[in-house]
């Protein structure tokens, strides 16, 4: 791996890896993705199911865990992240599934994954795999360098008129900035990273970065994206705020029981997470 790629991820919080998956590997991922959409888990959220305009999001489906662990271990993610981070070890956390279809899906609101999950450290990475040729205007967008902080409160994703409606509330975390409103006033307010991608490419994102998915439209109506999440040696537990208005436990809503014994600053470790390097 080129030093420039490692430096870009460290400084920017996201990089594009061209041609990471070959045709056979991509087909394996697509088969697992299609199964995951049809056999969703307890954290799935669907809109307009059964119509042309569909939206589907799912996280850490326990029904898919064993299958996806085997798939991920067979792909070159362990080597990639070990080199990208300079980490001796790499673990697989879980998947995230995104489907937008019908040409009128709105953008995914700006957020940080670390507002919802108890993650800290440099060695975190989400590998975004889209199965279409995605134009830049319809792609994932990232605020360059925002993974360095601060950690903002999350949005509830409930009020389209208030994209920064606080998830946790209180004063523990600063309120999320309204990135889109500020960009409309001044397009240079933020330095945005975004790439057009082809099947086989992956975008690797630090989950502490502010990011959001652009909308689909009539010229690019459908986007199917699989996200695999990984962590390495420099990954620590950072609890979510106490007394969250949304009722979130400090461990987050994924693997809550498995993380129950971790304290702030502990290495992020549990035997439920498959080691792949």
Of the listed ranges 27-31, 135-139, 157-161, 265-269, the least confidently predicted one is: 157-161
Q: What is the mean pLDDT of residues 70-86?
A: 98
The pLDDT of residue 220 is above 70: yes
Q: What is the mean pLDDT of residues 15-34?
A: 98
For the beta carbon of residue 102, count every other beta carbon within 10 angstroms: 15
Torsion-angle region of residue 252: left (phi > 0), alpha (psi -120 to 50) or beta? left
Closest CA to 230 of 256, 205, 257: 205
Q: What is the mean pLDDT of residues 179-184?
A: 95
Quickly state the pLDDT bin for 228 (edges 50, 70, 90). Answer: very high
Domain boundaries, the chain: 3-237
pLDDT at 27: 98
Quickly state the pLDDT bin for 251 (edges 50, 70, 90). Answer: very high
Beta bridge partners of 65: none
pLDDT at 28: 98
CB 249 within 8 A of CB 118: no
CB 250 within 8 A of CB 172: no
Q: Which CATH code fits 3-237?
A: 2.60.120.620
pTM of the model: 0.95
Q: What is the mean pLDDT of residues 246-268?
A: 97
CA distances from 178 to 9, 175, 248 (A): 24, 9, 23
Secondary structure class of 16 (helix, strand, coil)? strand
Instruction: Give me the chain's average pLDDT, please.
Output: 94
The pLDDT of residue 51 is above 70: no
The pLDDT of residue 140 is above 90: yes
pLDDT at 124: 98
Q: What is the mean pLDDT of residues 57-85?
A: 97
pLDDT at 253: 95
Q: What is the mean pLDDT of residues 244-261?
A: 97
Give the separation between CA 118 and CA 173, rounded to whole angstroms.
13
pLDDT at 160: 74
């Amino acid at each position: 791996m080129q030093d420039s790629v490692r430096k870009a991820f460290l400084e920017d919080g996201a990089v594009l890896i061209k041609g990471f998956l070959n045709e056979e590997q991509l087909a394996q991922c697509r088969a697992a993705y299609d199964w995951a959409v049809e056999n969703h888990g307890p954290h799935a959220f669907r809109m307009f199911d059964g119509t042309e305009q569909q939206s589907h999001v799912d996280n850490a489906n326990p029904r898919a865990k064993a299958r996806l662990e085997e798939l991920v271990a067979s792909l070159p993610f362990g080597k990639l992240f070990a080199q990208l981070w300079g980490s001796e070890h790499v673990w697989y956390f879980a998947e995230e599934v995104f489907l937008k279809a019908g040409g009128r899906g709105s953008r995914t609101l700006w957020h940080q994954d670390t507002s919802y999950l108890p993650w800290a450290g440099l060695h975190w990475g989400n590998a975004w795999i889209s199965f279409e040729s995605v134009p830049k205007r319809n792609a994932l967008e990232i605020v360059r360098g925002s993974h360095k902080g601060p950690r903002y409160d999350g949005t509830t994703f409930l009020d389209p008129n208030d994209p920064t409606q606080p998830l946790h509330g209180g004063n523990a975390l600063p309120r999320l900035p309204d990135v889109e409103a500020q960009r409309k006033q001044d397009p240079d307010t933020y330095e945005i990273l975004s790439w057009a991608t082809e099947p086989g490419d992956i975008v690797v994102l630090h989950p502490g970065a502010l990011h959001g998915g652009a909308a689909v439209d009539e010229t690019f109506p459908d986007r199917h994206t699989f996200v695999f999440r990984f962590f390495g040696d420099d990954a620590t537990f950072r609890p979510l705020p106490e007394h969250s208005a949304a009722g979130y436990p400090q461990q987050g809503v994924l693997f809550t029981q498995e993380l129950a014994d971790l304290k702030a600053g502990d290495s992020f470790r549990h035997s439920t997470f498959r080691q792949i390097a």
